[in-house]
Structure 1
Amino acid sequence: MSALEILWPVLILAFILVGIHTIFGLEIIRRGVIFTDLAVGQIAAVGIAISSAFFEGKYQVPLSLAFALSAALLIAYASQKSRHIEAFIGLLYALGASSVMIVLSAGSEGDELFKRLMANDILFVMNDEILKAAGIYSVIALLYYFIYPKLSGFFKELFFFALLSVTVTTSVPLAGVLVVFTLLIAPALVALLQKRIKPILFGWGYGWFFVSLALVLSYHYDWPTGYSIVFVGTLITLICVLWLEKRRA
């Protein structure tokens, strides 16, 4: 089997993931709540951990979604009331991460599941999972572009974080918390620093580039796929940020 036959479903999934997460990443950076997705993703992972530890993997979607929506509600409320929203979000992330470890400590496969929750090997994602995710993301994108701009106040905040929580809940089982965070922040950050191309278009192109490079390197050198995306994406982004900031200065 050729490399292309192995990688093309993963490349399609990666393009879909970059497409939806860049949209939210741009808004997250503009709002200055960088770690929101990381916190929501980690809280969603608590639901997945409970499903695995106590229900033999059943009820994973409703449990993870319930936890993610609870986190979204808390962040939406705190964004209206708290003067230190990033500190609040950071503590929420710490709560989620510690909760996952406590829940998984009871099982023999806790460490392995925790690694998958952080950065999953997307080479083994099935085609039906890709199609399901694509359908969910399409609905989310439509709601974001046509409903979200018409809202205001607390309900607009809640709607945004609810959409983000559904996105993250769908993405974490596929790719892992760290991969989701990288895809949300890295393309959007570089896209906002450059001034020549519309941010959303640049973010998509940039994200697709580093994810494709990571997948090729992962295939040829037998690196873990999820961590390859995180490593390549963050490394190239850090270099780009320093270069762009130097040029602007």
Structure 2
Amino acid sequence: MIELLIPPILLSFVLLLIHSYYGLQIIKRNIIFTDLAIGQMAALGVAISLYLFGGKYLYPVSLLFAVFTALLIAYINHKEKSLQEAFIGLIYALGISGVFIVMSKSPHGLEELNNLLAYDILFTSYGDILKVSILYLFIGLVLYFFVRKIEGFLKDVLFFTTFAITLTSSVKLAGVLVVFSILIAPSLIALKLFNKNHILYATAVGSLLILISIILSYNFDLPTGYTIVFINTLSALATILFKK
């Protein structure tokens, strides 16, 4: 059992380290559905690649959709800030409807759609974990040395572009809903329960919630991705409702 659980636990910790930062920023900016919109457009890129190219060029096509969406959101955030939530919601609706349309033409559409929403991270390889760790380390360095030191439109462009790159890699490994839940829920809990060191607390809380989810899914034969989504979102909702 331990050998099976080590890769998803490692992947979860790697994902949480960088997603906690973005989750806190997204909540503070009050643009909660940005990650869903960008993640869903990345998933649309995956769906198109699966349907048109048999899975070839999957990552570059998905990344192209995600980065283009991120640039649009950065532009709207700069030009029409009052409309950004409506714009982000419309992008999400466009992305998810596009995924359903494309997958309806695929012979394995339902299975592929399920993977796009919540992938079973129990089967993640150490090679994939290493690759995404190196990528996220590079993005973290960009965030620390560049993004936090600049202001204005350029900061929005770099923030949303690096966010899009992060989400594209995460959606490929975990699925749109899993990424959304670990991005928002641990960060929200950390903000609600603690006064400082929110990234560290969000990472710790998220790691605990994912560990619980993986153990539950393993012992009760539940879908791992959806169990992670359920436990994270339930914990965040409980924190909001019962913490004064």
Tell me the TM-score normalized by structure 1: 0.95
SS in 2 for 1:46: helix
Measure the CA separation in 1 of the matches of 2:211 and 2:126: 18
Measure the CA separation in 1 of the matches of 2:123 and 2:200: 29
Matches within 5 A, 1:11-160: 11-82=9-80, 83-160=82-159
Which digits, 9 at most, give the CA deviation of each residue in 1:204-233, with x for residues without a partner?
111111010000001100100100100011
Measure the CA separation in 1 of the matches of 2:201 and 2:121: 24
2:160 is aligned with 1:164? no
2:214 corresponds to which residue? 215
Following TM superposition, the consecutive aligned residue runs of length 4 or more in structure 1 with deviations greater than 6 angstroms are: none
Measure the CA separation in 2 of the matches of 1:101 and 1:196: 42
Report deviation, 1:127: 1.3
Report deviation, 1:84: 2.3
Measure the CA separation in 2 of the matches of 1:196 and 1:24: 18
Whichever residue aligns with residue 26 of structure 1, its letter is L
Which digits, 9 at most, give the CA deviation of each residue in 1:90-149, with x for residues without a partner?
110000001111111111111111110000001111111111111111111111111101
Matches within 5 A, 1:168-183: 168-183=167-182
Report deviation, 1:87: 1.2
Q: Over the residues paired in the alignment, what is the CA RMSD in angstroms?
A: 0.9
Measure the CA separation in 1 of the matches of 2:85 and 2:173: 26
2:233 corresponds to which residue? 234
Report deviation, 1:194: 2.1
Measure the CA separation in 1 of the matches of 2:194 and 2:40: 33
Q: Is contact 2:116-2:171 (8 Å) kept? A: yes
Matched length = 243
Measure the CA separation in 1 of the matches of 2:103 and 2:63: 19
1:4 corresponds to which residue? 2
Measure the CA separation in 1 of the matches of 2:149 and 2:199: 20
Tell me the TM-score normalized by structure 2: 0.97
SS in 2 for 1:162: helix
SS in 1 for 2:106: coil
Whichever residue aligns with residue 46 of structure 1, its letter is L
Measure the CA separation in 1 of the matches of 2:15 and 2:222: 20
